[in-house]
Amino acid sequence: MKKVAFYTLGCKLNFSETSSIGRLFTDAGYSVVEFTEGADVYVINTCSVTEHADKKCRKVVKEALKYSPNAYVTIVGCYAQLKPQEIAEIEGVDMVLGAAEKFRIVEFISDLTKQPKAVIHQQNIEKVNHNFIAAYSIGDRTRTFLKVQDGCDYPCTYCTIPLARGGSRSDTIENVVNRARQVAAGGVKEIVLTGVNLGDFGIRNGQREDKFFDLVKALDEVEGVERIRISSIEPNLLSNEIIQFVATSKRFVPHFHIPLQSGSNKILGLMKRRYRRELYTERVAAIKAVMPDCCIGVDVIVGFPGETQEDFLDTYQFLNGLDISYLHVFTYSEREQTEAAEMPGVVPGSSRADRSKMLHILSDKKRRAFYQSQIGKDAEVLFEDDQKGGYMHGFTKNYVKVRAKYDPVMVNELKSVQLLAMTAHGEVEVAEAEAVLQH
């Protein structure tokens, strides 16, 4: 039996697609193994959001060939769609597959004979714009990343994703609900909805046929799913009706991840974002009004062209004053074929690094304050199958990471606990297992 191993770079959407590609190999008679086991085929699913992701792809190819020098190496994903020729020049790469072709991977690599030059199968992204291919992750007993939307119609000046994934397109509500039922039947307790622009769900064949809110309402009725989490949603697409519904939902949890990118309206304009910071403030206030304990995560980019120190401090003070829970901080990096790459006002690398460090410190402060606000409260934790130093971990509905003494019986189980105190590592201690069962 031939062996295949995978490595995934980037977002939750990539993880869901890697898992689906893995099932294609399994159906074709391959055995899926760990990366370090020395596979016959290595599939590297790439991201191209930052320059670092491109460089990491090269490193992963080297690592794969270290474990299996004669392995057949195939590169898929966003980087593969954007720069297939560049990837084909990487030593050790045998095949490069574009956005649509990656789901035909088994067909393309039926012959594992290594050629002197890498083979490329990639078509113009315009040709795959209306073609939605479903995917979901499997293997993690606790949660599944369920892809419901792909592509993006938002022309943000820093982003290559529309070039790599094409225009916005979605599955049908009926298909998503059926897939959620299948996942639930497999014993998975939590579903994380994923997409490139999740809130834009509902476009098929270039026409809007559904709304994201309609999908949310339909999924809330799926029996067997304990929790549904919205991975990320644009502030202009996070409507008050969605917020109000989640507040009283049976399954959707009080956790939103809402990209901001900048707290400066000037920079938001240069980025061509579809909102201003005033709207963001309104969204956070609306959430906290009905879900005071809701966890709110924020994406933010530092060092965008034209961002002065005053603009950055404007962003810092704006974030510092918001009732949010943590930040995902991205250091701006120039991407070819984007408007921002040609903009004046380039920010020196040292300034970008300094600003990133400041926001990482702010994120730690926000997370600790949020966790501290939950101490003493009762919560329901979904425990995961991990063990470190005799402890296991899990997350509350509102995304507080907790730890408890390891107990194999608690893996993939929802347990009511009391949040006791924060650890030195920034997790939250909960009551001992015996006390847990008494709540």
pLDDT of amino acid 110:
77
d(CA 335, CA 150): 21
Q: 135: how many CB neighbours lie within 10 A of its CB?
A: 24
pLDDT of amino acid 347:
98
| Residue 435 predicted with pLDDT over 50 | no
Which segment of 85-89, 232-236, 257-261, 299-303 scores lowest on mean pLDDT? 85-89
H helices of 155-297, in order, are 161-165, 173-185, 212-219, 240-247, 265-271, 277-290
Asked whether 150 and 169 are in contact (CB, 8 A), the reply is yes
d(CA 258, CA 236): 10
Pairing mode of beta strands 378-383, 391-396? antiparallel
Q: What pTM value is reported for the model?
A: 0.92
DSSP state of 250: S
d(CA 301, CA 286): 24
pLDDT of amino acid 56:
87
Query: For residue range 362-417, what is the model confidence (pLDDT) as tens digits?
Result: 999 999 999 999 999 999 999 998 888 899 999 999 999 999 999 999 999 999 99
Burial 236-259 (b: 16+ CB within 10 A, else e): ebbbeebbeebeebebbbbbbbbb
d(CA 171, CA 132): 6
- Alpha-carbon torsion 246, 248, 253, 254, what sign? positive
Reported confidence tier of residue 436, pLDDT bands at 50, 70, 90: very low
Query: For residue range 117-154, what is the model confidence (pLDDT) as tens digits?
Result: 999 999 888 777 678 999 999 876 789 999 999 999 99
Pairing mode of beta strands 190-194, 227-230? parallel
Please report, as a single letter, which amino acid is at residue 260: L
| Residue 309 predicted with pLDDT over 90 | yes
What percent of the chain lies above the pLDDT cut of 70? 96
| Residue 432 predicted with pLDDT over 60 | no
SS3 27: helix
Asked whether 217 and 241 are in contact (CB, 8 A), the reply is no
- Average pLDDT score over the chain: 93
Q: In Å, how far are 48, 222, 294 from 378, measured between CA atoms?
A: 41, 26, 14
Query: For residue range 2-48, what is the model confidence (pLDDT) as tens digits?
Result: 999 999 998 889 999 999 999 999 999 999 999 999 999 999 999 88
Q: 124: how many CB neighbours lie within 10 A of its CB?
A: 11
Please, what is the end-to-end C-alpha distance for the chain in angstroms? 49
| Residue 437 predicted with pLDDT over 60 | no
